[in-house]
Structure 1
Protein backbone atom coordinates (compact mmCIF):
# COMPACT_ATOMS: atom_id res chain seq x y z
CA UNK A 1 0.00 0.00 0.00
CA UNK A 2 1.50 3.27 -1.14
CA UNK A 3 2.10 5.88 1.49
CA UNK A 4 1.51 9.55 0.82
CA UNK A 5 4.55 11.70 0.94
CA UNK A 6 4.70 15.34 1.83
CA UNK A 7 7.29 17.82 0.61
CA UNK A 8 8.94 19.69 3.43
CA UNK A 9 10.14 23.22 2.88
CA UNK A 10 13.91 23.79 2.86
CA UNK A 11 15.46 24.90 6.12
CA UNK A 12 16.09 28.66 6.37
CA UNK A 13 19.69 27.84 7.24
CA UNK A 14 20.18 26.40 3.77
CA UNK A 15 18.58 29.20 1.82
CA UNK A 16 20.82 31.12 -0.57
CA UNK A 17 20.29 34.76 -1.35
CA UNK A 18 21.80 34.59 -4.87
CA UNK A 19 21.14 31.04 -6.23
CA UNK A 20 21.55 32.09 -9.86
CA UNK A 21 25.21 33.03 -9.30
CA UNK A 22 26.27 30.02 -7.25
CA UNK A 23 24.13 27.59 -9.29
CA UNK A 24 23.49 25.38 -6.27
CA UNK A 25 22.11 21.96 -6.88
CA UNK A 26 19.74 20.53 -4.30
CA UNK A 27 20.02 16.87 -3.44
CA UNK A 28 17.82 14.78 -1.22
CA UNK A 29 19.47 11.97 0.69
CA UNK A 30 17.81 10.22 3.66
CA UNK A 31 15.45 13.11 4.10
CA UNK A 32 18.25 15.71 4.32
CA UNK A 33 18.80 18.51 1.83
CA UNK A 34 22.35 19.70 1.16
CA UNK A 35 24.03 21.95 -1.37
CA UNK A 36 26.86 21.10 -3.76
CA UNK A 37 28.86 23.47 -5.97
CA UNK A 38 29.86 22.41 -9.46
CA UNK A 39 33.61 21.95 -10.19
CA UNK A 40 33.55 24.98 -12.47
CA UNK A 41 32.20 27.13 -9.64
CA UNK A 42 34.86 25.84 -7.24
CA UNK A 43 37.57 26.69 -9.77
CA UNK A 44 36.16 30.21 -10.16
CA UNK A 45 36.08 30.78 -6.42
CA UNK A 46 39.54 29.30 -5.82
CA UNK A 47 42.04 32.17 -5.61
CA UNK A 48 44.72 32.15 -8.34
CA UNK A 49 48.20 30.96 -7.45
CA UNK A 50 50.14 33.81 -5.96
CA UNK A 51 53.62 34.85 -6.96
CA UNK A 52 55.14 33.23 -3.89
CA UNK A 53 53.34 29.95 -4.59
CA UNK A 54 54.55 29.93 -8.19
CA UNK A 55 58.12 30.57 -7.05
CA UNK A 56 57.85 27.76 -4.50
CA UNK A 57 56.54 25.34 -7.11
CA UNK A 58 59.35 26.29 -9.52
CA UNK A 59 61.92 25.89 -6.74
CA UNK A 60 60.56 22.46 -5.85
CA UNK A 61 60.84 21.31 -9.47
CA UNK A 62 64.36 22.71 -9.75
CA UNK A 63 65.33 20.90 -6.55
CA UNK A 64 64.02 17.60 -7.90
CA UNK A 65 65.90 18.14 -11.18
CA UNK A 66 69.08 18.86 -9.20
CA UNK A 67 68.64 15.70 -7.12
CA UNK A 68 67.98 13.51 -10.16
CA UNK A 69 70.87 14.79 -12.29
CA UNK A 70 71.68 12.02 -14.74
CA UNK A 71 74.94 13.32 -16.16
CA UNK A 72 76.65 9.93 -16.04
CA UNK A 73 80.40 9.37 -16.21
CA UNK A 74 82.59 10.19 -19.18
CA UNK A 75 83.39 6.92 -21.00
CA UNK A 76 87.06 5.95 -20.81
CA UNK A 77 87.25 5.00 -24.50
CA UNK A 78 86.56 8.49 -25.86
CA UNK A 79 89.23 10.13 -27.98
CA UNK A 80 91.17 9.04 -31.02
CA UNK A 81 91.81 5.31 -31.02
CA UNK A 82 95.31 4.08 -31.86
CA UNK A 83 94.79 0.95 -33.93
CA UNK A 84 93.60 1.97 -36.41
CA UNK A 85 93.46 5.74 -35.83
CA UNK A 86 89.76 6.58 -35.62
CA UNK A 87 87.01 7.56 -33.24
CA UNK A 88 85.41 4.82 -31.16
CA UNK A 89 82.71 2.53 -32.47
CA UNK A 90 79.21 2.65 -31.00
CA UNK A 91 77.90 0.23 -28.37
CA UNK A 92 74.99 -2.05 -29.23
CA UNK A 93 72.49 0.53 -27.96
CA UNK A 94 70.47 2.73 -30.32
CA UNK A 95 71.70 6.07 -28.98
CA UNK A 96 74.94 6.60 -30.88
CA UNK A 97 76.24 7.65 -34.31
CA UNK A 98 79.81 7.37 -35.56
CA UNK A 99 81.68 7.80 -38.83
CA UNK A 100 83.83 4.84 -37.76
CA UNK A 101 80.93 2.39 -38.15
CA UNK A 102 80.42 0.21 -41.19
CA UNK A 103 78.41 1.92 -43.92
CA UNK A 104 75.96 -0.99 -43.84
CA UNK A 105 75.01 -0.28 -40.21
CA UNK A 106 72.13 2.12 -40.76
CA UNK A 107 71.46 2.42 -37.02
CA UNK A 108 74.94 3.75 -36.17
CA UNK A 109 76.79 4.87 -39.31
CA UNK A 110 77.04 8.54 -40.25
CA UNK A 111 79.10 9.87 -43.19
CA UNK A 112 82.10 12.19 -42.63
CA UNK A 113 81.98 15.88 -43.49
CA UNK A 114 84.09 17.68 -46.08
CA UNK A 115 84.93 21.21 -44.99
CA UNK A 116 86.41 22.26 -48.35
CA UNK A 117 84.61 20.37 -51.13
CA UNK A 118 85.82 20.81 -54.70
CA UNK A 119 82.54 21.88 -56.23
CA UNK A 120 83.17 25.55 -56.90
CA UNK A 121 81.51 26.84 -53.73
CA UNK A 122 84.60 28.54 -52.38
CA UNK A 123 88.35 28.63 -52.05
CA UNK A 124 90.42 25.94 -50.38
CA UNK A 125 89.91 26.14 -46.64
CA UNK A 126 92.61 25.47 -44.04
CA UNK A 127 92.12 23.10 -41.14
CA UNK A 128 92.50 25.98 -38.71
CA UNK A 129 89.72 27.93 -40.43
CA UNK A 130 87.53 24.83 -40.48
CA UNK A 131 88.03 24.27 -36.76
CA UNK A 132 87.05 27.89 -36.09
CA UNK A 133 83.87 27.47 -38.12
CA UNK A 134 83.06 24.23 -36.35
CA UNK A 135 83.46 25.86 -32.94
CA UNK A 136 81.22 28.74 -33.97
CA UNK A 137 78.46 26.42 -35.15
CA UNK A 138 78.73 24.16 -32.10
CA UNK A 139 78.41 27.08 -29.69
CA UNK A 140 75.45 28.63 -31.51
CA UNK A 141 73.44 25.45 -32.19
CA UNK A 142 71.22 23.98 -29.46
CA UNK A 143 69.09 21.20 -31.00
CA UNK A 144 66.34 20.06 -28.61
CA UNK A 145 67.51 22.67 -26.10
CA UNK A 146 70.69 20.79 -25.17
CA UNK A 147 73.42 23.12 -23.90
CA UNK A 148 76.88 22.58 -25.45
CA UNK A 149 80.04 22.81 -23.35
CA UNK A 150 83.52 22.56 -24.84
CA UNK A 151 85.15 19.84 -22.76
CA UNK A 152 88.36 19.27 -24.71
CA UNK A 153 90.06 20.93 -27.66
CA UNK A 154 93.25 20.26 -29.61
CA UNK A 155 94.41 21.25 -33.06
CA UNK A 156 92.78 18.19 -34.64
CA UNK A 157 90.21 17.14 -32.03
CA UNK A 158 87.17 18.61 -30.30
CA UNK A 159 84.93 17.07 -27.66
CA UNK A 160 81.66 18.70 -26.65
CA UNK A 161 79.34 17.74 -23.81
CA UNK A 162 75.67 18.40 -24.55
CA UNK A 163 73.46 18.60 -21.45
CA UNK A 164 69.69 18.17 -21.66
CA UNK A 165 67.48 20.93 -20.22
CA UNK A 166 65.64 18.40 -18.07
CA UNK A 167 67.38 16.09 -15.57
CA UNK A 168 70.83 16.89 -16.97
CA UNK A 169 71.42 13.97 -19.31
CA UNK A 170 74.80 14.34 -21.05
CA UNK A 171 75.76 13.30 -24.58
CA UNK A 172 79.39 13.24 -25.74
CA UNK A 173 80.06 14.56 -29.25
CA UNK A 174 83.55 14.27 -30.76
CA UNK A 175 85.04 15.76 -33.92
CA UNK A 176 88.36 14.66 -35.38
CA UNK A 177 90.39 16.01 -38.31
CA UNK A 178 92.38 12.97 -39.47
CA UNK A 179 95.91 13.49 -40.84
CA UNK A 180 96.39 13.85 -44.57
CA UNK A 181 95.50 16.30 -47.29
CA UNK A 182 91.84 15.38 -47.61
CA UNK A 183 89.64 18.01 -45.86
CA UNK A 184 87.60 15.50 -43.85
CA UNK A 185 86.06 15.67 -40.37
CA UNK A 186 85.02 12.49 -38.59
CA UNK A 187 82.61 12.64 -35.68
CA UNK A 188 80.82 10.59 -33.05
CA UNK A 189 77.71 11.51 -31.06
CA UNK A 190 76.53 9.25 -28.23
CA UNK A 191 74.41 9.33 -25.08
CA UNK A 192 76.09 8.25 -21.88
CA UNK A 193 73.03 6.59 -20.36
CA UNK A 194 70.09 4.54 -21.58
CA UNK A 195 69.40 2.43 -24.64
CA UNK A 196 67.32 4.79 -26.80
CA UNK A 197 67.69 8.48 -27.61
CA UNK A 198 64.47 9.01 -29.62
CA UNK A 199 66.54 10.38 -32.49
CA UNK A 200 68.27 13.11 -30.46
CA UNK A 201 71.82 12.34 -31.66
CA UNK A 202 70.78 12.06 -35.28
CA UNK A 203 68.82 15.30 -35.06
CA UNK A 204 71.81 17.06 -33.47
CA UNK A 205 74.23 15.92 -36.17
CA UNK A 206 71.80 16.96 -38.88
CA UNK A 207 71.34 20.42 -37.35
CA UNK A 208 75.10 20.93 -37.12
CA UNK A 209 75.59 19.74 -40.70
CA UNK A 210 72.92 22.10 -42.05
CA UNK A 211 74.55 25.06 -40.30
CA UNK A 212 77.99 24.05 -41.57
CA UNK A 213 76.67 23.73 -45.11
CA UNK A 214 75.93 27.45 -44.96
CA UNK A 215 79.68 27.90 -44.57
CA UNK A 216 80.50 25.70 -47.58
CA UNK A 217 80.79 22.31 -45.88
CA UNK A 218 79.27 19.15 -47.38
CA UNK A 219 78.51 15.61 -46.34
CA UNK A 220 80.54 12.85 -48.02
CA UNK A 221 77.33 10.89 -48.69
CA UNK A 222 73.60 11.00 -47.98
CA UNK A 223 72.43 10.64 -44.39
Structure 2
Protein backbone atom coordinates (compact mmCIF):
# COMPACT_ATOMS: atom_id res chain seq x y z
CA UNK A 1 0.00 0.00 0.00
CA UNK A 2 1.21 3.47 -0.75
CA UNK A 3 -0.28 6.50 0.93
CA UNK A 4 1.31 9.07 -1.31
CA UNK A 5 -1.45 11.63 -1.80
CA UNK A 6 -0.97 14.45 -4.26
CA UNK A 7 2.16 16.59 -4.30
CA UNK A 8 1.31 19.89 -2.61
CA UNK A 9 1.05 22.95 -4.84
CA UNK A 10 2.60 25.31 -2.26
CA UNK A 11 6.15 23.95 -2.38
CA UNK A 12 9.14 26.08 -3.24
CA UNK A 13 10.51 29.42 -2.10
CA UNK A 14 8.50 32.62 -2.29
CA UNK A 15 10.09 35.88 -1.17
CA UNK A 16 12.77 33.98 0.73
CA UNK A 17 10.20 31.87 2.58
CA UNK A 18 9.23 28.20 2.43
CA UNK A 19 5.49 27.49 2.76
CA UNK A 20 4.15 27.84 6.30
CA UNK A 21 3.25 24.65 8.16
CA UNK A 22 -0.43 23.72 8.32
CA UNK A 23 -2.11 23.66 11.75
CA UNK A 24 -1.55 19.90 12.05
CA UNK A 25 1.43 18.74 14.16
CA UNK A 26 3.00 16.72 11.31
CA UNK A 27 5.23 19.51 10.00
CA UNK A 28 8.39 21.29 11.11
CA UNK A 29 9.92 24.43 9.64
CA UNK A 30 12.91 26.56 10.53
CA UNK A 31 10.90 29.61 9.44
CA UNK A 32 7.93 28.87 11.70
CA UNK A 33 7.25 31.26 14.58
CA UNK A 34 5.28 28.83 16.78
CA UNK A 35 6.87 26.32 19.17
CA UNK A 36 4.94 23.31 17.79
CA UNK A 37 6.43 23.61 14.30
CA UNK A 38 9.72 25.46 14.94
CA UNK A 39 13.04 23.73 14.28
CA UNK A 40 16.51 25.25 13.90
CA UNK A 41 17.89 25.77 10.39
CA UNK A 42 21.02 23.90 9.30
CA UNK A 43 24.19 25.90 9.85
CA UNK A 44 27.43 25.56 7.94
CA UNK A 45 30.96 26.96 7.95
CA UNK A 46 31.87 25.87 4.40
CA UNK A 47 30.99 27.79 1.25
CA UNK A 48 27.26 27.77 0.38
CA UNK A 49 28.07 25.62 -2.68
CA UNK A 50 29.87 23.03 -0.54
CA UNK A 51 27.03 23.08 2.00
CA UNK A 52 24.32 22.32 -0.56
CA UNK A 53 26.48 19.62 -2.20
CA UNK A 54 27.09 18.01 1.21
CA UNK A 55 23.36 18.17 1.99
CA UNK A 56 22.50 16.52 -1.34
CA UNK A 57 24.91 13.64 -0.60
CA UNK A 58 23.31 13.12 2.82
CA UNK A 59 19.78 13.10 1.38
CA UNK A 60 20.80 10.62 -1.33
CA UNK A 61 22.33 8.33 1.32
CA UNK A 62 19.02 8.03 3.21
CA UNK A 63 16.62 5.16 2.41
CA UNK A 64 13.40 5.58 0.36
CA UNK A 65 14.35 9.11 -0.69
CA UNK A 66 14.06 10.79 -4.06
CA UNK A 67 15.25 14.30 -4.93
CA UNK A 68 12.53 15.87 -7.06
CA UNK A 69 13.75 19.44 -7.57
CA UNK A 70 17.24 20.85 -7.29
CA UNK A 71 18.78 24.25 -7.94
CA UNK A 72 21.81 26.07 -6.54
CA UNK A 73 19.78 27.36 -3.56
CA UNK A 74 16.96 24.79 -3.20
CA UNK A 75 16.46 21.05 -2.76
CA UNK A 76 13.11 19.29 -2.60
CA UNK A 77 12.95 15.58 -1.78
CA UNK A 78 10.23 13.03 -1.11
CA UNK A 79 10.77 10.60 1.76
CA UNK A 80 8.64 7.43 1.93
CA UNK A 81 7.91 5.58 5.16
CA UNK A 82 9.05 1.97 5.24
CA UNK A 83 5.82 0.35 6.33
CA UNK A 84 2.93 1.97 4.48
CA UNK A 85 4.70 4.24 2.00
CA UNK A 86 3.47 7.53 3.47
CA UNK A 87 5.18 10.39 1.64
CA UNK A 88 6.72 13.39 3.39
CA UNK A 89 7.74 16.50 1.46
CA UNK A 90 11.09 17.87 2.62
CA UNK A 91 12.52 21.17 1.42
CA UNK A 92 15.86 22.90 1.95
CA UNK A 93 16.46 26.54 1.04
CA UNK A 94 19.96 27.98 1.07
CA UNK A 95 19.47 31.42 2.63
CA UNK A 96 22.65 33.23 1.56
CA UNK A 97 21.72 36.37 3.54
CA UNK A 98 21.53 34.46 6.84
CA UNK A 99 24.22 31.90 5.86
CA UNK A 100 21.96 28.99 6.88
CA UNK A 101 19.87 26.34 5.15
CA UNK A 102 16.19 26.77 6.00
CA UNK A 103 14.28 23.49 6.29
CA UNK A 104 10.67 22.34 6.06
CA UNK A 105 9.51 18.75 6.47
CA UNK A 106 5.81 17.93 6.26
CA UNK A 107 3.65 14.84 6.00
CA UNK A 108 1.40 14.83 2.97
CA UNK A 109 -1.48 13.03 4.66
CA UNK A 110 -2.91 12.63 8.15
CA UNK A 111 -2.52 14.59 11.37
CA UNK A 112 0.16 13.20 13.63
CA UNK A 113 3.50 11.92 12.38
CA UNK A 114 4.68 10.73 15.83
CA UNK A 115 7.61 13.14 15.55
CA UNK A 116 9.00 11.60 12.34
CA UNK A 117 9.55 14.89 10.50
CA UNK A 118 11.42 16.44 13.44
CA UNK A 119 13.54 13.29 13.92
CA UNK A 120 14.40 13.23 10.19
CA UNK A 121 15.68 16.82 10.22
CA UNK A 122 17.69 16.16 13.39
CA UNK A 123 19.20 13.04 11.76
CA UNK A 124 20.15 15.11 8.69
CA UNK A 125 21.54 17.85 10.99
CA UNK A 126 23.75 15.30 12.83
CA UNK A 127 25.17 13.98 9.54
CA UNK A 128 25.54 17.52 8.16
CA UNK A 129 27.56 19.05 10.99
With the shorter chain as reference, the TM-score category is: over 0.9
Deviation (angstroms), 1:86 = 0.7
1:72/1:192 contact within 8 Å kept:
yes
Equivalent residue of 1:165, what SS? Answer: coil
Aligned with 2:102 (options 186, 196, 202): 186
Tell me if the contact between 1:141 and 1:207 (Cα under 8 Å) persists in the aligned partners: no
Structure 1 stretches of at least 4 aligned residues deviating more than 2 Å after TM superposition: none
**Aligned counterparts of 1:190 and 1:199: Cα–Cα separation in 2:** 11
Q: Which residue of 100, 110, 126 corresponds with 2:47? A: 126
1:90 aligns with 2:6: no
Contact 2:12 2:19 in 1 (8 A): yes
| Contact 2:74–2:92 (CA under 8 A) maintained in structure 1 | yes
Figure out how many residues of one structure are paired with residues of the other and give that number.
129
Give me the whole-angstrom Cα distance separating, in 1, the residues matched to 2:53 and 2:42: 15
Contact preservation (8 Å) 2:89, 2:107: yes
Q: Alpha-carbon deviations, 1:79-122, whole Å to 9, x = none?
A: 0023xx211110000100001111xx221001112111xxxxxx
Counterpart of 1:108 (choices 16, 19, 37) is 37
Where in structure 2 are the equivalents of 1:127-142 lying within 5 Å? Answer: 127-142=48-63
Distance in structure 1 (CA, Å) of the matches to 2:94 and 2:124: 16
Give the number of the structure whose alpha-carbon radius of gyration is greater. 1
**Separation of aligned partners in 1, 2:24 and 2:32:** 13
Task: Pick the structure with more strand per residue.
Answer: 2
- TM-score, with length taken from structure 2: 0.94
Larger helix proportion, structure 1 or 2?
1
SS at structure 2 position matched to 1:130: helix
1:56 corresponding residue in structure 2: none
For structure 2, list consecutive stretches of 5 or more residues without a partner in the other structure.
none
Secondary structure (helix, strand or coil) at the match of 1:177 reads strand
Corresponding residue SS for 1:158: strand
Q: Distance in 1 between matches of 2:53 and 2:96?
A: 18
Contact kept? 1:93, 1:195, Cα under 8 Å:
yes
Between the two structures, name the one with larger relative contact order (CA 8 Å, sep ≥ 6): 2
Name the Cα RMSD after superposition: 1.2
